[in-house]
Amino acid sequence: MSDSAGTYGERVRRPDIDFVTIVVPVRDEELLLPRCLTALTVAIDALKVVSQSDRPRVSVLLVLDRCTDLSARVAAHWADFARVEFDSGSVGVARRYGIRCALRQLKAAPAADRIWIASTDADSAVPPNWLVTQLALARNGSELVLGTVQPDDDVAAHELLRWEALHTIGEGHPHVHGANLGVRADRYLAAGEFAPVDRDEDVLLVARLRDLGVIEARTALIPVLTSGRRVGRAPAGFAGYLRSHIDTERLDTEVAQ
């Protein structure tokens, strides 16, 4: 059953979130990575308006996965963000490995039900209210938060209109994006973590979480700006979605003319 806020499942009282860990897989993103990390910094700073007693600690881990460009050098400018080099070439494996590392590295780690895992991508930029909103939903009982994405200006205006016509972005939306996802750590672990696959690791995780009956919030309040390029780093990722929907529509139009 759902309500107007796009929340699913039976509400139960959960412990407060004491720690937020943000994991970002990075694969040859030297050009877009500064945008990503700057946006994360702003979102973390926004938590400072929360009272000291309620504000969770936050860590960021960048998983530099088989990078051959200057991504590592770019990431080093954000000294407060931890980095780990990896060699999988698989976004599902990178997310899974990064979260495992992040959870292991927590000092005086709280119980898993007090940890919030937030996921985004290196080619994306989260909004300033990204963490504030996720944690507000968590305090209200949500164990999984699914946000929306919006292509950046790599997509032409007429293509963006086509994308918006095909893409529901309101509250209770049906979409799952690894670039805009948050989950309580105990539920994430119970669901078996991100699958070590090259594609759809986010969709598979959410399916398993739903099998567990998690309390889920699907919200349009925290849209993440993501790359509108047609050639992406992950098979069947957002770039593939744009190719299959926007470019197919363009071809159909040209044939009709």
Is the model's pLDDT at 192 over the cut of 80? yes
Contact 217, 146 (CB under 8 A): yes
Looking up residue 131, the CATH number of its domain turns out to be: 3.90.550.10
Structure tokens at 175: 């979409």
Reported as a single tens digit per residue, the pLDDT across 202-233 is 999 999 999 999 999 999 999 999 986 645 55
pLDDT for 5 beyond 50? no
Residue 5 lies in a domain: no
> Look-up: residue for tokens 């669901």?
191
Going by pLDDT thresholds of 50, 70 and 90, the confidence category of residue 50 is confident
Could you tell me the CA-to-CA distances from 223 to 23, 127, 206, 211, 219 in Å, in that order?
Answer: 18, 7, 18, 26, 9
Does 177 reside within a domain? Answer: yes
In this prediction the pTM is 0.85
User: With b meaning 16 or more CB within 10 Å and e meaning fewer, what string describes 110-148?
Assistant: bebbbbbbbbbbbbbbbbeebbbbbbebbeeebbbbbbb
Task: Spell out the residues 6+ positions from residue 70 whose beta carbon is closer than 8 angstroms to its own.
Answer: 30
Is 32 inside any structural domain? Answer: yes
pLDDT over 90 (residue 200): yes
Domain that includes residue 29, residue range: 10-256
pLDDT given for residue 236 in this prediction:
52
Q: Distance between CA 155 and CA 233 in Å, rounded?
A: 17
Question: Domain for residue 4, yes or no?
Answer: no
Element (H, E) at 204: helix 201-211
pLDDT at 238 over 60: no
Residue closest to 146 by CA, chosen among 168, 123, 165: 168
Structural domain includes residue 1: no
Alpha-carbon torsion 151, 154, 155, 156, what sign?
positive
pLDDT value, residue 10? 61
- In a domain, residue 3? The reply is no
Whether residue 135 contacts residue 20, with contact meaning beta carbons closer than 8 Å, is answered with yes
> Does 103 fall in a domain?
yes
Choose among 36, 113, 147: nearest CA to 81: 36
pLDDT tens per residue across span 107-139: 667 799 999 999 999 999 999 999 999 999 999
Q: Is residue 162 part of a domain?
A: yes
pLDDT tens-digit series, residues 143-157: 999 999 988 876 666
Please state the domain count of the chain.
1
